Amino acid sequence: MQIMQPIQAHIEMEELSDPGTYTKEEALILAAQKDLQMFSALYEKYYAQILRFVYQRVTSKDDAYDITQQIFLRAMMSLPKYQLRGFPFSSWLYRIALNEMNQLFRKNKKQRGVNLQEKHPTQIVEELGETGGEEREAAVLQALTGLEEDDFQLVEMRFFEGRPFKEMAEILNITEANAKMRLYRILDKIKPVVTKNIKNGA
């Protein structure tokens, strides 16, 4: 099936959008559920951020590109089952992304990667009650490399991507209270590691 070009899809989205009932994105989603050619506008809008999300968790760009394509293929195939629940469409895509990556690593037994390039954990440093500075940020980044994937996902969503707990919970399919509890337990766990790293000159 040939997918409609993004510009054409956006034009038709404007015609379908009812500002009194749906947002433009919701109107596009509903239109794409009826005609998958409209999916190209969603693909164009979210491709770059899903690719970045994947690349933070794999060891090569080639893997990131391949996995991202698979994510959008899965999303397009699953779109008829999607329901508007008041969350960004990206939350649903991120959930698919996590599932696809987990399945891939289990199936191929590939080692996960954590790319922390250009990450600035200023907020984490402040949350831990530390003063700022490159030394402390380096100590935090080193501590993060020792986290399990599930724990790192929570930290990244909250502090590097700035997601509210409500959206994090939606992506991870847990309650908002559980998301908060898990995150602060992770911070409690890494705090002594950060302190040790600082002393050791990490």
This prediction has a pTM of: 0.68
**Which residue is listed with tokens 């760009």?**
61
At 55-93, the pLDDT tens digits run 877 778 888 899 999 999 999 999 999 988 878 898 899
Query: What is the residue whose two structure tokens read 């090569």?
Result: 60
Residues 6+ apart with CB under 8 A from 126: 132
Nearest partner of 103 among 95, 89, 88, judged by Cα: 95
pLDDT in tens, 105-127: 777 655 555 555 556 678 888 88
